Amino acid sequence: MIISRRNFVEAAGLASAALMFPGQTSFAGNDAVRIGGHAFGSSWTIVMDRSKNSALIKTQVERILGKVNASMSPYASSSEICQFNSMGADEQLMPSHAFGYVARAALKVARLTQGAFDPTVGPRVHALGFGPITGSGTTSWRSIVLQGRHLGKRESDATLDLCGIAKGFALDLVRQCLQENEIANALIEVGGEVSAIGHHPSGRHWRVAIESPVFRSQEAISIVEPKSLSLATSGHRANGIDGPISTSHIIPTASEQAANNPILSVSVLAKSAMLADALATALCAMEQSDATRFARERGINSLFAFGSSGGYRLVSTGRFSEHEIG
């Protein structure tokens, strides 16, 4: 998701929507505590009710994120996903419950979006200089077979890449962890994906600033109150590329080239962070007309930033605008 650390802290900690000055990282008052750490090559942050259990919660969150990373990271050679990717077509993997759940969800979204979200895109992403998954890049999500508890492939060269959905899944687990610890109010961010519980200490809803998709711009294009939903954003700026969209890590449907359409970023609000994560990626990979039509027909709460002369223009679908401030 395209959200800067400054914008996250600003939206969490201030009663206004104005951008914070760098370094201003705390609440006014002692009503909340901020914890965080590193995960998925990025970071995680939670702003929540001040609690004597914050150290314990941090330990639990780190354990959750560590397990997801150990299972689904293509950078960890011992991970389940790396084991699957190295298998032949005559082999099967009996995945853990979590891995199987996320793989099944990824295939479901791939089917729903007719391959705009494709969890086998890893080798094509690697060919553009992003990610460690290698291969011919000629397979599709239809090459993956999930029957009962067994995960297999129709072609030995088929691989899985769950990076477009695993962070959202991890965020859902962290949210569940906080609820089980009876945390009534919290704003949670994992690798840029965001979910909220309860309210800001001032009594209002939590607010999150979505950063401009234009490289090196520091403005917020929207201030959003997720309320009971989770927020994810996919865009070409996420990897810090200073250049044309053709250098993006996002691969459109039925193509071996990077996305090169007017969609600069897409933000999605959904009941689960996992679904928001996957849908944002899928919509960003579609052609502009297909993406907006798909989102409108299915009532997806989304905010598109389209490139235009002088910057960008915004188009929302579903009930996204009802969550925007100002």
Contacts of 52 (CB under 8 A, 6+ apart): none
The reported pLDDT for the residue numbered 75 is 94
Q: Does residue 218 form part of some domain?
A: no
Number of other CB atoms surrounding residue 116 within 10 Å: 24
Report whether 259 contacts 236 (CB < 8 A). Answer: yes
Give the whole-angstrom CA distance, residue 294 versus residue 78: 38
**What's the pLDDT at 213?**
85
Total domains, the chain: 1
More confident residue, 6 or 108: 108
The answer to whether residue 197 sits within a structural domain is no
What is the DSSP annotation of 49-99? E--TTHHHHHHHHHHHHHHHHHHH-TT-TTSHHHHHHT--TT--B---HHH
The two structure tokens encoding residue 306? 């389209």
CATH number of the domain where residue 130 is located:
1.10.3980.10
Cα-based torsion angle of the residue sequence 147, 148, 150, 152 in order, rounded to the nearest 10 degrees: 10
Instruction: Name the band, by pLDDT with cuts 50, 70 and 90, for residue 215.
Output: low
- Between 205 and 128, the more confident residue is 205
Band of residue 239 on the pLDDT scale cut at 50, 70, 90: very low
Q: Convert the pLDDT of each residue in 252-308 to its tens digit.
A: 554 444 444 589 999 999 999 999 999 999 999 999 999 999 999 999 999 999 988
Query: Does some domain include residue 225?
Result: no
Q: Could you tell me the residue range of the domain that residue 144 belongs to? A: 74-153
Most confident region among 2-6, 120-124, 259-263 by mean pLDDT = 120-124
The pTM for the full model equals: 0.86
pLDDT at 218: 73
- The answer as to whether 138 is a domain residue is yes
Q: Measured between alpha carbons, how far is 110 from 131 in angstroms, rounded to an integer?
A: 20
Give the Cα separation of 83 and 274 in Å (integer): 23
Residue 182, classed as helix, strand or coil, is coil
Given a contact cutoff of 8 angstroms between Cβ atoms, the answer to whether 275 and 292 are in contact is no
Strongest mean pLDDT among 115-124, 126-135, 249-258: 115-124
| Segment 215-234 mean pLDDT | 89
Q: Pick the residue with more confidence: 41 or 27?
A: 41
Average pLDDT, integer, range 181-193: 94
Give domain status of residue 82, yes or no: yes
pLDDT (0 to 100) of residue 254: 47
The answer to whether residue 129 is domain-embedded is: yes
Between 123 and 30, whose confidence is greater? 123
Q: Can you tell me the distance from the alpha carbon of 249 to that of 206, in angstroms, rounded to the nearest whole number?
A: 31
Residue 132 has pLDDT above 50, yes or no: yes
In a domain? residue 115:
yes
Cα(300)–Cα(203) distance, integer angstroms? 28
Residue 29 has pLDDT above 70, yes or no: no
Q: Are 239 and 284 in contact (CB under 8 A)?
A: no
The verdict on residue 67 lying in a domain is: no
Across the chain, mean pLDDT equals 84
